[in-house]
Amino acid sequence: MSNRAPIILAVDTSSISTAISWIKATEDYVSGYKLGLEFFLACGLDGVKEVSQHIDLDLFLDLKLHDIPNTVSKAAKAIEEFSPRFLTVHASGGTAMIAAAVHSLPNTLVTAVTILTSLSALDVHEIGYSQPPLESAVRLASLAVKAGAKALVCSPQETSAIRNEVGAEPVIITPGVRPIESSGGDDQVRTMTPSQAIRQGANYVVIGRPVTGGDSLQDIHTRAKKIAADILIGE
């Protein structure tokens, strides 16, 4: 039986060497690695290339593209050589923008971000959405799938409703998950435990600080092993 759980590890660091060390410490227990803005802006495409050479699992580029369709199309094309399995765009960028990314990266699952998990209901209202987070996320997910997105990012609290809306085919990825012993104390608002998110219909959960916040590489390894085991037994 594999020890690998449906975890995408958030490699949130500005250091190439740190990223590689985290990958080596956790590769037996996770299913992929997410490189986001912190890493991308600090290390650039060369950094992505170097780190990707150490990744035998899925590569998730979390760039949350949100611009006019032509710009997003060219930005997506610029990362084609890395063959990421996932590339994020904001669903609120609209149908044409999402479709442009899909057209540029036919072999990548363009992944539409619905409502950020750091946003509360009040935040969503202040931004200008006319509906609460749940209804807004479902609407954005439906729009994105119709535009060609093959994967979605949403809060675990919206996962079940989105799964019911879009069906079984789209991949659903949920950040904002926290093991019980790690809950609270950060900027995630609409959260669940990893196993709860999987039961709600998520294919993958994104976990970062509960693993990478370890005091040493051995601690990071141990944390990844425990969280993976908890997910696999459904805790």
Paired tokens of 54: 């150490």
150 is an active site residue: no
Check 64, 77, 150, 225 and give the catalytic one: 64
Query: 7-10 and 171-174 as β-strands: parallel, antiparallel, unpaired?
Result: unpaired
Please state, in angstroms and rounded to a whole number, the distance separating the CA atoms of residues 102 and 107. Answer: 9
Please state, in angstroms and rounded to a whole number, the distance separating the CA atoms of residues 89 and 71. Answer: 12
Q: What is the dihedral of CA 213, 218, 219, 224, to 10 degrees?
A: 80
- The residues, ordered by sequence, that sit 6+ positions from 117 with a Cβ below 8 Å of its Cβ are 155, 174, 175, 176, 188, 189, 190, 191
The position carrying tokens 């080596």 is 24
- At residue 89, what is the residue type? V
Active site residues: 64
